[in-house]
Amino acid sequence: MESMRKRINVKLVSCPARMRKLINRPTFKQCTNYSENLAAVTMHNKEIDFCKPIYIGFVILERSKELMYEYHYNVMKRHYGDNISLLYTDTDSLIYHVKTRDFYDDVANNPNLLNRMDTSNLPPDHRCYTLARMKLPGYFKDEIARP
């Protein structure tokens, strides 16, 4: 999450008098000279505006992790056992290697898998296709959907 306390201001200056004025401010952090006539003066913010809902963002990320762990262990691992490997995870995605004859057969025949997926990106004639969960939060989507 973004930390508002770590934000800085950088001023590009070419005038020596302006540079001295910025350096003398209490918010001065550092100065980097790029040439004889150009410098970047880094300043701390005088005021910190906590305009971002940090606590809400934290809770959303934690709930997302909880949802993903619950899905991984209670749905995918329970269904596939040793035939599934979690290759990569990110804030909002899981990448699996699944050893199965046909993943979509598994999804179609197991309501526990199907009811947790947004399959609206599949072709309309696909057996798992439905618009019922299209773009709803908390549902997983096969982002490389190939029927």
Domain, as residue range, for 126: 62-147
Within 10 A of 46 (CB to CB), how many other CB atoms are there? 9
> Would you say residue 56 lies in a domain?
no
> In the chain, where do the E strands start and end?
8-13, 28-35, 38-44, 84-90, 93-98
Q: Is 109 helix (H, G, I), strand (E, B) or coil?
A: helix
- Whether residue 135 lies inside any domain: the answer is yes
Query: Are 89 and 22 contained in the same domain?
Result: no
Q: Is 49 a domain residue?
A: no
Residue 75 within a domain:
yes
36 and 70 together in one domain: no
94 and 135 part of one domain = yes
- Examine the domain organization and report whether 13 and 78 are in the same domain: no
Q: Which of 30-39, 42-51, 93-102, 111-120 has the lowest mean pLDDT?
A: 42-51
Count of Cβ atoms closer than 10 Å to residue 73 Cβ: 10
Average of pLDDT values for 83-106?
A: 94
Does the pTM of the predicted model rise above 0.85? no
Domain shared by 97 and 147, yes or no = yes
1 residue type, one letter: M
Q: pLDDT tens, 102-132?
A: 999 999 999 999 999 999 999 999 999 999 9
Q: How far is it, in rounded angstroms, from Cα 115 to Cα 103?
A: 15
Number of structural domains (the chain) is 2
